[in-house]
Structure 1
Amino acid sequence: MPRVLPVLTVAALAVALAGCTTGDPDTGSTPDPSASASGERVCATPGDGTDKVDVTGEFGAVPTVVVDSPIEVDDTERRVLIEGEGEAAAYGDTVRVDFTLYNGTTGEAATQTDYAEGAQAQFVLNEAAFIPGLVKTIECSKPGARVIGVVPAAQAFGENGLADFNISAGDTVVFVVDVVSVDAPLQPAEWTENVPTVERDADGIPVVTLPEGAAPTELLATVLEEGDGATVVAGDSVTLNYQGTSWEKNEIFDQSFGGDPATFATTQVVQGFGAALVGQKVGSTVLVVIPPSLAYGDDPQAHQLGGQTLVFLIDILGVNGV
């Protein structure tokens, strides 16, 4: 009788597959975000490792996988089984996937997602947020693709392993991934008309003066000062100072200026705020206006900022701890 694999839920995925793989944030496993954003990344390719994995079955269904173990690789290898159609996934894109995970050292099945409609795992392709080997396996894949990724321990679960699924320290792992959808990051339009004026007081705290008239109805941003540091990629952890103003009330509702800078991932804030950070360089000052639909929604009863258009002045100080 076939073994029934434990299902890796979306919540468990965020814990199991997130962060630095070796348990030491100073090992250099965190990628250079400027290189990630500049197009210098290359697609992982097939090799002797992927040749030792046999997969059968249809896209969207649990695959039958045979691993000729043990497999050892120095870098993530990737082989496309089903090509898919459309725009290939790029670093920083959001993907929805189903996958099955095998231990490449022992050949044993480890876990899988549900393979149920609407239950796919969703996350951002960013090595600062998820294990590099999974990102490299999915990157360059089109919607509808099925791909194999053979991943060394250094780009998977490293010295920690994944004990709940019988993956030990140093084990190679094998992913078989079905790429259900790929979405590029949301991008604000350029803010060129009725842009607020910005001044700084003696302590460097911004004073944002809104123009008269109705609030913009779309997501708009303008770079007041461009930095020369690393470029923010979707999913990055960004350190910044910010000041938030309600357009309708013409008053500041929150700010970090005058206190400690804030640090959070672009995926941990309202959608419009995160979108304003992506693609910007460390050292930049950005002004963004966010309609309610991309902030706290249209319902004033659901949130104290519901139904309000928000203006943020943002100083980007660092990314991924740098």
Structure 2
Amino acid sequence: MMKKTLSWAALAVLATFSLAACSSNLPQSGATEQSGTTQSAPSDAAPTVDRSGEGNFPAVTGGFGEKPTISAGEGEAPAVVSAKTLVEGDGKVVGENDFVLVNYAGVLWDGTPFDSSFERGEPIAFSLNGVIPGWKYGLAEQKVGDRVELVIPAQWGYGEQGTQNIPGGSTLVFVVDILQSVDPVDNSAVKDAKPVDAQLPAGVTVEGALGEEPTVTYAKADTPAAEGFTVLAEGKGAAITDKDYVVYQVKGALQGSDTPPPATWEQAQILQPGAAPLAGKTVGSRLLYINPGNEQQLASAAVIDVLAVMSLP
């Protein structure tokens, strides 16, 4: 089980490890290495997406929220990414860079199942920038509340190398229920937060307007700061619960070190439910977190902007 310690470094990587552990077949992007040879990754270029719904789609039964049954494909599989709206939602349009919360089932063109969040009994959240192009561009432009069938040629899936139980050259078929979507560039909730006249721990300074990248410094102090949070600005949004995925930005500093921490502010991150002690904090808040460190790790300070949450049903 992953520890729930929240250093600035942990915040930057926790989402990747915790989400990847949820599903080994989540359609993540990236190259693979076998026998020391780097295999070609799926194309990162934007594919053409046929949204007419009139291509060759395997039959699907089941309504939104229900585990779908996906039949084997017949005839020649589509040569382009194909998206068919099976159930039309009335929510926001999904952007290419959004974080989404979805339920999904995936099969090969011959109907062989290889993964299903429906089977696991819980939806999953991730960034569309971290998945195969067929998912990224197939789900973009759909709406929250849609049930979408995607047919993804190998070029826009796992290519000729395949992955795990997906053979190389496979055409993939997914049925995806889009439950929620968050634009990670939208920091309006933080800009609207109410500043708090908080007493910062000794040695810590934080500068910068709400919604902008802060400057964080952490100088040596006679009295070590205790681990914990300080609210710098209180958001007006909902309180975070243990059932929420948390979308956030983070900027950190090591105590007494001139070495800059990893640049994570420009790319929003996501924490899975219960993966960090943020319960009770509100959406839109700017928080300061102190990690006191240990013999192997310098103490650190991290400013966290809580951009949004996506809640498990």
TM category (shorter chain) comes to 0.5 to 0.7
TM-score calculated relative to the size of structure 1:
0.54
The question of 1:158 aligning with 2:159 is answered: yes
Matched, 1:72 2:77: yes
Work out the CA distance in 2 between the residues paired with 1:144 and 1:261.
39
1:173 aligns with 2:172: yes
1:56 and 1:261, CA in 2 relative to 1: closer, same or farther beyond 3 A?
same
Contact 1:70–1:107 under 8 Å retained in 2 = no
Q: 1:91 to 1:42 in 2, by over 3 A?
A: farther
Determine the C-alpha separation between the residues in 2 that align with 1:56 and 1:269: 32
Give the counterpart of 1:45 among 51, 68, 82.
Answer: 51
1:254 paired residue number? 254
Partner of 2:143: 142
The verdict on how the C-alpha distance between 1:61 and 1:115 changes in structure 2, with shifts beyond 3 A counting, is farther
Q: Aligned pair in 2 of structure 1 residues 177, 168: CA closer, same or farther (>3 Å)?
A: same
Alpha-carbon distance between aligned partners in 2 of 1:262 and 1:309, rounded to the nearest angstrom: 12
Q: Quick check: 1:99 aligned with 2:104?
A: yes
Is 1:122 paired with 2:113? no
Q: 2:217 is matched with which residue?
A: 245
Matches within 5 A, 1:1-322: 11-13=21-23, 16-20=26-30, 29-31=43-45, 44-46=50-52, 50-69=55-74, 71-104=76-109, 106-114=110-118, 119-126=122-129, 129-164=130-165, 167-188=166-187, 219-221=210-212, 244-245=216-217, 253-254=253-254, 262=262, 266-268=267-269, 293-295=285-287, 297=289, 303-304=291-292, 310=303
Query: Is the contact made by 1:79 and 1:149 (CA closer than 8 Å) also made in structure 2?
Result: yes
Q: One-letter code of the match for 1:96?
A: L
| Partner Cα separation in structure 2 for residue 304 and residue 182 of structure 1 | 35
Provide the C-alpha distance between the structure 2 equivalents of 1:179 and 1:210, rounded to a whole number of angstroms.
38
Name the SS for the 2:71 alignment partner.
Answer: strand
Deviations 1:32-69 (A, max 9, x none): xxxx8xxxx97642466x43311111111101221223
Q: CA deviation at 1:28?
A: 8.1
Match for 2:73: what amino acid? D
Question: Residues 175, 292 of structure 1: CA spacing in aligned structure 2 closer, same or farther, 3 A cutoff?
Answer: closer
Residues 144 and 311 of structure 1: CA distance in aligned 2, closer, same or farther (over 3 Å): closer
C-alpha distance in structure 2 between counterparts of 1:12 and 1:310, whole Å: 27
CA distance in 2, matches of 1:10, 1:70: 34
1:184 and 1:42 map into 2 onto residues whose CA distance is 23
Which whole-Å CA distance do the structure 1 matches of 2:28 and 2:65 have between them? 24
Partners of 1:243 and 1:254 within 8 A in 2: no
Q: Residues 67, 244 of structure 1: CA spacing in aligned structure 2 closer, same or farther, 3 A cutoff?
A: same
Query: SS of the counterpart of 1:163?
Result: coil
Output the amino acid matched with 2:58.
V
CA drift at 1:253? 3.5
Quick one: higher RCO (CA 8 Å, sep 6+), 1 or 2?
2
Quote how far apart the aligned CAs of 1:243 are.
6.3
Which whole-Å CA distance do the structure 1 matches of 2:267 and 2:42 have between them? Answer: 22
Structure-2 change in CA distance of 1:10 and 1:124 (3 Å): same
Q: 1: CA distance between counterparts of 2:95 and 2:146?
A: 14
Superposition deviation, residue 142 in structure 1:
1.5
Distance 1:296 1:102, change over 3 A: farther
Structure 1 gaps of 5+ residues are 1-8, 192-208, 223-241, 271-290, 313-322
Question: Take 1:260 and 1:246, find their aligned partners in 2: how far apart are those partners?
Answer: 11
TM-score (norm 2): 0.55
Aligned identity (percent) is 23
Query: Which piece of structure 1 moves more, 144-153 or 130-139?
Result: 130-139
Q: CA RMSD in A?
A: 4.6
